Amino acid sequence: MTERTNGYYAPLVHVADAQDEGRMLRDVLRHRLGVSRRLWVRLKTTEAGVTINGEKAYSSARLAVGDRIELRMPEEESEDILPQPMALDIAFEDEHLLVLNKPAGLIVHPTTGHYANTLANGVVHYWRERGERCRFRPVHRLDEDTSGLVVVAKHPYAHQQLSVQMMAGGIEKKYRAYVYGHPPAARGEVDAPIGRVPEDPHRRAVLPDGQPSLTYYEVARPYACGASALDVRLGTGRTHQIRVHLGSVGCPLIGDGYYADPDWARTALADRLAGVIGRQALHAALLAFRHPVTDEPLTLVASLPYDLRALEAALERLPAGLGL
C-alpha cells in the first residue's frame, strides 16, 4: 500500500553528495532527479512540496553535502472514473507503480460512450478498497483485444520518469504474435511510415506521409500449415503499429478482423482456425525498464493466456499446405 502522510504521497528523498555541493536546488532537481518544469511548478506551489532538512525550500537555495531534499506530491484521485470490482492480474506493485497483465477484450481507459468496464474502473476500485488515493496514469496502452502487460504510475513523478524512458527508447517491449504466412526472413525489421486512413480515422496504414515507424521481428516458430509465431519488438509506438506493419509484409495477425487480408481469409487455413480464437493473436509478453524512483532494472513477463495456448496447439496439429 502506498504510504500516506497528511494527504501527500510518501516523500521522494535525495541526500546531497559531493556532486551537489554549492549547486542550486533547481539544477539538482532538474539534472540529477529529472524533475520537469511542469512538476516543479506543482511542487513549489504546495506548502510541503519541496523541503531541505525539513524546511520549505526555494529553487535558488544552495546545497551542502548531507542536505536532505524531500519532494512531496499531493494525493490525487481519478474522480471521473467509476470504481468497479474486477479481477486484476498484478505482475508487480509498490508505492510508485502498478503493472498488470491485461486480458483481451478490456479497454485500458474510459472513452466517449464507454465509461465502465475498463481496466481503469477496476484499478480505481482496487486502490479505494486498499485505502490508496491515486490517479489512474497509464504509461502506455494496449488495444482492447491485445492481452499483456500495462504499466500504471501512481504519482506524477513516476509517470514523468517512465515517459522520459519511453521517449528515449529505454523501455523494452516484446510481443508474441501469431500470423498467417512466413515473413521474408527469419529475423528482420519493417521500417515504413504509418498514418491515418482518410476515409476511416480509426484505421492506420503504411502511407508515404505517415509518421516514421519501426518494428523488429524474429520467427519463434514456423508452422507447416502456413503460419508463424513471431517475437516482436517496437522501435516506435504508433497506434496499431504491429498489426499494420506485419500485414504490410504479407503476415497479417490471425484473428484480426479489422485488418483482415481478403486473400488469407479465403484460405483453408483461415477456415480451419475459425472459432479457435476470437481476437487478434497478439500478446504483450515482456516489459523491461528501470524503476522510475530506485533506478533498479525491472523485467516483467506475462505468460500466454489460454486462447493463445489453444491457438498454438491448433497450429501444431494442422497439416501442411493450408495457406496461400
Catalytic residue IDs: 143
Query: Would you call 201 helix, strand, or coil by DSSP?
Result: strand
To the nearest 10°, report the CA torsion of 185, 188, 192, 196.
90
* Rounded Cα gap, residues 194 and 204, in angstroms: 7
Query: Would you call 289 helix, strand, or coil by DSSP?
Result: strand
* Rounded Cα gap, residues 276 and 307, in angstroms: 8
DSSP state letters, 106-120: -BSS-BTTB-SSBHH
**Torsion sign over Cα 281, 282, 283, 285:** positive
Q: Show Cβ contacts of residue 234 under 8 Å, excluding neighbours closer than 6 positions.
A: 173, 175, 214, 215, 216, 241, 242
Per-residue cell: 74: 499531493
